[in-house]
């Protein structure tokens, strides 16, 4: 193909994809070597027409700004509590840097923030210092928690196998944090403007039932019991495991009925024989 040859439709699509998925201009990305030279050189005028009001480059920048705005909105929707914790300006700065390093490559924006917690870990200001600060740990844990919520909400419910014993619902995520992440998240999405918390060991879970998400705080013994079931232990084996770990058997017997009633109410536990089914996630979060 000569330098002046007309690009094919596929080549134009690849070029347009390249300039849109990376609107902030990551110079580390290599051009498509199989594209015609005029596209590799980024000659906008060779692809986009000018108008009386806008030049070719201005037309392209309009599309880029719109797409970048959509990406920023998506990041804000996936990490609302983190956005509150960092503040609008700082969150936007982190998001823009993240989008520049990791532009979207999937057909869906549902996975846009998948690497954001890793990005925060990689770019934490005390990364190369011996004395670590606690606030980056909170931000990273909060980002991990929020993306897990987004992922759980969009996950298809797997086929359920028949079972007679009590089991943990498949769409259940357990969390152990060194900060009160769940409490902060609840307050942030309720627009209560919480202050940054101090370190404090907390446990909790998220479960999806009937297309709705429930967030529950857990005591350490509750977390250990459900973690055992998450690993595939039967309820009886998981219960015996926490007793062997030091939980008083009589005290456990006294509180266990309340635990089970609450978990069954929110769909954390399933009892009896379940018929195989496949549910598709709802498109609206509650």
Q: Determine the Cα–Cα distance for residues 179 and 160; give it in Å rounded to an integer.
A: 34
62: pLDDT strictly greater than 70: yes
pTM of the entire structure? Answer: 0.76
Q: Which CATH number does 155-286 carry?
A: 3.90.930.50
Q: Is the pLDDT of residue 8 over 60?
A: yes
**Count of Cβ atoms closer than 10 Å to residue 117 Cβ:** 21
Residue 10's pLDDT band (cuts 50, 70, 90)? confident
pLDDT > 70 fraction of the chain, expressed in percent and rounded: 79
The radius of gyration of the chain from alpha carbons, rounded to an integer in Å, stands at 25
pLDDT at residue 96 is higher than 80: yes
Instruction: For residue range 154-171, list pLDDT tens digits in order.
Output: 776 554 443 346 889 989
Nearest to 184 by CA among 211, 202, 207, 172: 202
Measured in degrees and rounded to the nearest 5, phi and psi for residue 11 equal -65, -40
**At 73, is the pLDDT very low, low, confident or very high (cuts 50, 70, 90)?**
very high
* Domain spans, the chain: 155-286
Number of Cβ within a 10 Å radius of residue 238: 21
**Structure-model confidence comparison of residues 64 and 177, the more confident one:** 177
Tell me the pLDDT tens digit for each residue of 276-285. Answer: 333 433 333 3
> Residues 88-109: what's their mean pLDDT?
89
């Amino acid at each position: 193909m000569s330098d002046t040859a007309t690009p094919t439709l596929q080549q134009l699509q690849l070029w347009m994809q390249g300039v849109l998925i990376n609107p902030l201009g990551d110079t580390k990305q290599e051009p498509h070597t199989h594209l015609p030279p005029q596209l590799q050189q980024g000659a906008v005028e060779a692809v986009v027409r000018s108008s009386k009001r806008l030049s070719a480059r201005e037309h392209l920048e309009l599309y880029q700004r719109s797409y970048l705005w959509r990406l920023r909105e998506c990041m804000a929707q996936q990490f609302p509590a983190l956005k509150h914790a960092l503040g609008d300006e700082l969150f936007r700065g982190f998001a823009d840097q993240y989008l520049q390093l990791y532009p979207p490559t999937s057909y869906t924006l549902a996975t846009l923030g998948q690497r954001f917690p890793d990005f925060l870990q990689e770019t934490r200001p005390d990364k190369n210092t011996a004395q670590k600060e606690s606030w980056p740990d909170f931000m990273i844990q909060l980002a991990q928690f929020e993306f897990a919520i987004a992922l759980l909400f969009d996950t298809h419910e797997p086929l359920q196998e028949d079972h007679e014993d009590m089991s943990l619902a498949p769409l259940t995520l357990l969390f152990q944090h060194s900060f009160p992440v769940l409490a902060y998240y609840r307050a942030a999405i309720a627009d209560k403007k919480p202050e940054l918390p101090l370190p404090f060991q907390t446990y909790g879970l998220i479960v999806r039932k009937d297309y709705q998400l429930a967030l529950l705080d857990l005591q350490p013994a509750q977390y250990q019991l459900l973690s055992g079931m998450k690993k595939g232990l039967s309820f009886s084996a998981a219960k015996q495991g926490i007793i062997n770990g030091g939980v008083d058997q009589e005290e456990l017997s006294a509180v266990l009925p309340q635990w089970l009633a609450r978990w069954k109410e929110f769909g954390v536990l399933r009892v009896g024989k379940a018929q195989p089914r496949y549910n598709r996630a709802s498109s609206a979060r509650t």
